[in-house]
Amino acid sequence: MQKTQKTALAATFAALHVILFLPEGPWRSFVIYLMPIEGIILGPTIGFTAALLGSTIARIVKPSIFWMFGIIAEPFSVATAGFLAKGRWKETILIYSVMLTTYFAHPYGRTLPLWTILDLLTALILIYPSSKISKWLWQKPSWRLPTTLLLIAFVCTAADAMTRVFLLVPMGFSNIFGWTYDILAYEIFIPNAIASYFEDLLVCIATLAVGVPLLTSLKKILNLDKPLS
């Protein structure tokens, strides 16, 4: 694919990023349903750039006091899907492990209920196997594709959440908003953790219902047998 075509495709995904952010959606907006496909098609480098551009423009068009979370978390999430689609797991495990380690090293991380991040711990375990079967995205038989896409989508979604948790707790972004521990735990962290479990389920359903045919179509249209970057 020519450089101009790659640029146009990246711009298209960035625009979709903006469009899906504008409607009121779940906790992390409708963009979360796009990010796995965005990373798989564009790859970690171009995908990260497109997501960064799209998430930045989206917050300019629709300002939010929590703008910094999405601008940082969404590009990392897309890059995660891109790395896994290329069979690369070391980068993701390294960054993910650092985030988890610093979370548990923080006093709040040792106090907040463990059940609130069980999906994030599960995703860490699934990073390696997801990368190993990522070749099924580009190979036949086609019945293998849904399984692979489902795992990558789950890890991608968890990577977004893990980044937000990392920023909120170890990085101390909660202090920016003047939240005490009680506010952070009982008004922000725990309610959003419950919501994130429902969102994990919705992402899995959307991936099987829409993501699989979308990825299949894009592979044919773009004549892809691997991510663009």
Show me where the domains of the chain are located. Answer: 3-222
What pLDDT is stored for residue 25 in this prediction? 67
Question: Which residue is associated with the tokens 């962290």?
Answer: 189
Lookup: tokens for 40: 């798989």
Measure the CA–CA gap between 31 and 203, rounded to whole angstroms: 11
What pLDDT is stored for residue 160 in this prediction? 93
Q: Is 141 exposed, middle or buried (0-12, 13-18, 19+ CB in 10 A)?
A: exposed
What pLDDT is stored for residue 221 in this prediction? 86
The secondary structure of 60-116 as a DSSP string is: HHS--TTHHHHHHHHHHHHHHHHHHHTT--HHHHHHHHHHHHHHHHSHHHHHS-GGG
CB 123 within 8 A of CB 159: yes
What pLDDT is stored for residue 112 in this prediction? 93
Question: Which residue is associated with the tokens 């711009």?
Answer: 11
What pLDDT is stored for residue 66 in this prediction? 86
Which of 119-122's residues contact partners 24+ apart within 8 Å by CB, and which partners?
119/158, 119/161, 119/196, 119/197, 119/200, 120/158, 120/161, 120/162, 120/165, 122/154, 122/158
- Nearest Cα residue to 39 out of 13, 1, 58: 13
* Predicted TM-score of the model (pTM): 0.92
Report cis status (omega within 30 of 0) of the bond before 23: no
pLDDT in tens, the chain (229 residues): 677 888 888 999 999 999 999 887 666 788 999 999 999 999 999 999 999 999 999 999 998 888 889 899 999 999 999 999 999 999 999 999 999 999 999 999 999 999 999 999 999 999 999 999 998 888 876 778 899 999 999 999 999 999 999 999 999 898 888 899 999 999 999 998 898 898 889 988 988 888 889 888 888 888 888 888 8
What pLDDT is stored for residue 26 in this prediction? 64
